[in-house]
Structures are given as C-alpha cells and as structure tokens.
Chains A and B, each alone.
Chain A
Amino acid sequence: MPTVSMTVNGKAATGNVEGRTLLVQFLRDQLELTGTHIGCDTSQCGACVVHVDGKSVKSCTLLAVQANGAKVTTIEGLARNGDLHPMQAAFKEHHGLQCGYCTPGMVMSAVDLASRNSDPSEQDVREWLEGNICRCTGYHNIVKAVQAGARAMRR
C-alpha cells in the first residue's frame, strides 16, 4: 500500500492507504478527523470540503495519494485556542446551522470565498455555495452568516 504524507492542520501526518482511498476517508478513518463529513457519493453535496494548499476542495473527489505533500486544513484546524474563527462565529450568531452535518463543508467553503471576495453580495454567496447542499436552513441564514463572516475576516 502506498504511503502518503501531508501536513494536516499544521501537523505532519503519514499513513498507508490503498490506491483507491479518498482524502476524506484518510482524514476520517486514519487521522480520526471526523468533522469532515460525507453526504453523497457523486461530489455534489460539499459536506466534505476542506482546504488543500489554501483552496477549498471536495475531499471525496481527491485520492489521498493526490494530496501527498499538501497542506490540508479541516474544520478542526479553523478555531484557534478554543476561539471560533470569525466565519464560525458568524454562523453561530446568524443561526447558519441546524443539524450541523453540512456545516463543516459550508464553513470551509465560505472561508475560501471570503479570502477571494471580502465583501460578497447575497448573489455572490448564493452562487459560490452552489456546490454545498444544506437541507435544514433554506440557506437564508447561511447567506447572512457568510456575508457577516467575510466582513469580520477583513478586520
């Protein structure tokens, strides 16, 4: 089995994986980072979004071996010293989550949007999140949270 090494949430991580092992499976099953979720098998739902080298990717759409040598950030790596990241705080403040299942992917995706567009319009947010499905919130509060989170990240 191939060996993969990557930096995950600032720490070195190594493991043996099958060629077919997906990045999300490596994160969840071997590194026990279960905050990254799996909601579908067709790369549609976005529950598994993490950052690879600073960009949001669906970790179900990348083989673990493809992330060899990469810097990966998962939802567990976002809060620092127990303080919520501004985007996480905005989701809480604006009730941008209910069951919490899509939330890690939503937040990781939103952080990437905010890094590209620090003042997204409602339409910008809705179009950006096209690849993240939420069944609980109707997106209304997620949109508000992402706009507020993006503004907070500027500060």
Chain B
Amino acid sequence: MKKPKVCVLRTAGTNCDMETAYAFLKAGAVPARVHVNRLIDRSERLEKYHILAIPGGFSYGDDLGAGKVLANELKYKLFDQVRNFIREGKLIIGICNGFQVLVKTGLLPGNASLRQDTSLIINDSGKFEDRWVYLKQPAEGRRKPGKCVWTRDLAEVIYLPVAHGEGKFITLDSAVLEGLKESGQVVFQYCSARGALGGYPQNPNGSSDNIAGICDPTGRILGLMPHPERHVEGLQHPDWTAGKKEKQGDGFFIFRNGVEYAKKNM
C-alpha cells in the first residue's frame, strides 16, 4: 500500500498529537488526529488505520497515575478494536504518556494475560525534567536483529529529548526484567554519547537497567519515554548552531521505519 494511515489518538490532556502527526506526515504517511470518544461512539473506526500512535501529554491530567485513565478506557471501552488491530499485524507506538498508557494496559511488555508486569514511576530526582539523552540498542536487541520493526538500522547511539516526571521503568520482579532482556524486548537504553551505560543524568529517571523503551514479543508495538517527534528536523538538535546541520533528526528514522514496514506488509 502506498501511504499508510496513522491514527494519532488524542483525549483530554494529550499534547504532543500535532508534532507526532507531523513526524508521520514527514515520514510519508497520512496521519489523522482522532479523539478517543470518536472510536468509542464508533463514528471513527480503528480498523481503517495501519498504525496507532499514542502521543505524549497528560491524558486526563495523569489523575490516578500517569496514563492510567486512558489505559483503563482502552482496556474496557475499546478492547476489541485494539485486539483486532494487533491481530491483523498492525503497528502501535506509544511515546512518553503513550508509553505509560501501553504499560498500564499490559499491551507492553505484552504477556498472554495482558497483566501489568512493568511500570513507569516517578523519577528518582522527584521532579519533572526536560533534558536530552543518548540512547542505544542493547546487545540482546542486535543478537536478534530487527526484533523491533521501529528501530531497524538506527545509528549506534541516537539523541532525543525526554520531558517527564514519571519515567522510571521498573518491573514486578527480576524474572520479568531478565525475561525482557532474553527475548530482546528491551529496545532502548539510556547511555553516554559514546554508548556507555551510566547513572544520572545520562539515565535521567533511574530506570532499572537504564531502560528507555521496550517492545512487545512481536516487535510491532513500541513504547519509549524519549520524544522522537521532537527530533525529526536538524534544527531541533540542541547543538545545530555549532555546525551540526543534518536535514533530519535521529527521531525521524523511527517514524520512517514504521511507515516503511506498513507499506511493505499491509
């Protein structure tokens, strides 16, 4: 198919929908910003889209916990639509608040029972922080090349901003963590410019094993705290005035991967 259709899901408090839609547009897709109420009242149908993007923001003010209320809505009001969407082999990306939503629905890491085994809790610093971070794909990821369709052929280390107060990734227990690493579902780790794992501020929130993003067992559902949509243009790079003038930012290639996959496989 020529141009994949992207459903950029929004609701009360979503606030990165515009730039996320723009990133998909730039990557060659046809994005539409869709309010969750339209999917619930069926005036819009998820099935006509190829990619579902859950953008950043503070859905429902993060009342009851980050992403909680929207996650609850997907689970209890839209479950069939979402399950069919996944069964058809379509793609989902959750960024920042969207990642929190996917984790709290259990769609990530995505065990059979959709039990919530991981969480994103308040940063070790105890406060919201906006800063740029380096990300790498862990060795496990590369042993099983292309596990995650969103991250194929990215540079060794990429540079994206985080902006969150609740991004510390934790798992129910060490077994869950080991399982994720084993199955290559750990997609991104916070690191230094040279790819070395370290503490704060490289790891901005204290995530266990520096985990910044994970995917489901199929590799088609990606969730990450950093904001790829905020680095699709060279001019968004904090140091471009020092001479680094790329046409595209590192984040662009994540969206392009998703769009290209959809073109080939749907």
Do A and B pair up? The answer is no
Q: Which residues of A contact B (CB under 8 A)?
A: none
Instruction: Give the interface of B toward A (CB within 8 A).
Output: none
